[in-house]
Amino acid sequence: MSFEPDHSIEIFGVKWKTPLTTASGTFELGDMARKLFDLNDFGAITLKSLTLNPREGNPPPRIAEVDCGLLNSIGLANPGINYFLEQILPKIKSFGIPLILSIAGDSIEEYVSLAQKLSKIEGLMALEVNMSCPNASKRMLEFGSNPKDSYFLVKEICRVSHYPIIAKLTPNCLSIQDIALAVEEAGANAVSLINTLIGMDVDLLLKKPITGLPTAGLSGPAIRTIALRMVWEVYKVVKIPIIGMGGIIRAEDAIKFFLVGASAVALGTVNFIDFSASKKIINGLDSYLRENSFASLKEIIGLAHKSLEFMRCGGD
């Protein structure tokens, strides 16, 4: 007898109709997005990172295709928080989908100012603290790679924000477990991982790096196994929800993230490749749950850990 599994989740006390969101910076929520994507496939939309003041971003070229992925060096180009609040947010609130706003800065004071401004408005579900962009300032990389800096940054943001806080973690660190524990202790309500890895490529004809800055952030299938390993490690030490991301192209990829401990997953590079990927992933997830007699997505979250423990105990 066929049945429809429940693929909804609950994070921050809010029910997501699907476990999918978008990776910040890969999805502009406007008229074009509504034409290209079915927003009903997503449980929430994570918006592009905003800074206190407008940023032009890094010099071009800013994006380049490489084997099994993309290099991007956008540099957090954005119109600034005031423009967003006045011109963009009023339009997208009517879309009727939970919104996660990503914030970024070069100092604790900037992050705190952003959080204070946003706490005065309604219409968001959570704030994602981008403390891990490899294309921005050295200070941001320090926030994401040093547990003490991570702790103090998140602690100060939590002090002024009434929104749940998601700390976005970088793979470019010595111990992602230490960073995850630090932000959890500081008050983060969830973590998202991973941001891009630092990489580069070279143009043989021009004999120089293919992006405007020598190094850039690598995303796509090339980083998936690393992302899975890091979600696996973080799940073992934190109690807060994990939003997994990194090279998710197919339903099978998303399912692996759930099995190693993610409660939700974010789609990034695939948004540039296949506008129907979200629907295919949801359909594939439902098929997997039915075929394996799981009534809901919740039953498989972290299951790989339990299966491994069962094997170690000899199946007793």
Residues serving a catalytic function are 133
Q: Where are the alpha helices (DSSP H) in 6-77?
A: 31-36
In what helix (H) or strand (E) does residue 306 lie, and over which residues does it extend? Answer: helix 303-312
Cα distance between residue 7 and residue 240, in whole Å? 19
Query: What number of other Cβ atoms are within 10 A of residue 10's Cβ?
Result: 12
Query: Pairing relation of β-strands 69-72 and 63-66?
Result: antiparallel
Number of H helices, E strands in the chain: 12, 16
Look at residues 29, 39, 28 and name the one whose alpha carbon lies nearest to residue 91: 29
Residues 6+ apart with CB under 8 A from 265: 19, 20, 21, 243, 244, 245, 248, 254, 257, 258
Cα distance between residue 175 and residue 145, in whole Å? 8
245 token code pair: 């991301």
Look at residues 120, 2, 69, 113 and name the one whose alpha carbon lies nearest to residue 225: 69
Query: Pairing relation of β-strands 126-130 and 20-22?
Result: unpaired
41 token code pair: 């496939």
In what helix (H) or strand (E) does residue 11 lie, and over which residues does it extend? Answer: strand 9-11
